[in-house]
Amino acid sequence: MKSLGKHLIIELFQCDSTLLNDVKTLEHHLLAAVQLSGATVIQPFFHQFSPHGITGVVVVAESHFALHTWPEYGYCALDIFTCGDTVNGHTALDYLKENLGAANASVMEIKRGVLDLPQSEIRHKPDQDAA
């Protein structure tokens, strides 16, 4: 059976607390991770909380990349959800682990939209293979 998408649910521990509270740096790193993965950026949005913490999402043509930070704990939660087979979420994850200074990580991978259909009938975008 083929799935429509792959969802990486990631926890990064013992990250650099200063980085986790720097909205410009996080936006730079998440956009760089998206680019390295091969995904197509539609729109980024980031919000800084007071007194600390950031939520950011990059909507991509293939779904989304999102992060939520708790600098006071050195913790970052990440979601990398993509459809199709062209995006490499693990490349993005490796980049983010290194650039956020994570000492430890936990990763769960979930297949989304597992359908009992022949491979030839699975389409990730409405216009794909329309011919």
pLDDT at 3: 80
Is 63 among the catalytic positions?
yes
Residue with token string 């650099």 = 16
Catalytic one of 29, 37, 63, 76:
63
Model confidence pLDDT, tens digit, residues 47-101: 999 999 999 999 999 999 999 999 999 999 999 999 988 899 999 999 999 999 9
Q: How many CA atoms lie within 13 A of 51 on its CB side?
A: 1
Query: Which one is catalytic: 64, 68, 90, 124?
Result: 68
Identify the CA nearest to 54 among candidates 109, 94, 15.
Answer: 15
Spatial neighbors of 114 by CB under 8 A, at least 6 apart, are: 1, 2, 3, 4
Residue 103: pLDDT band (50, 70, 90) is very high
Can you give the pLDDT at residue 122?
66
Domains and CATH numbers, the chain: 2-115 (3.60.90.10)
Residues with Cβ within 8 Å of residue 6, at least 6 apart in sequence: 81, 82, 83, 89, 109, 110, 111, 112
Amino acid in position 41: V
pTM for the model: 0.87
pLDDT, tens only, 21-47: 999 999 999 999 999 999 999 999 999
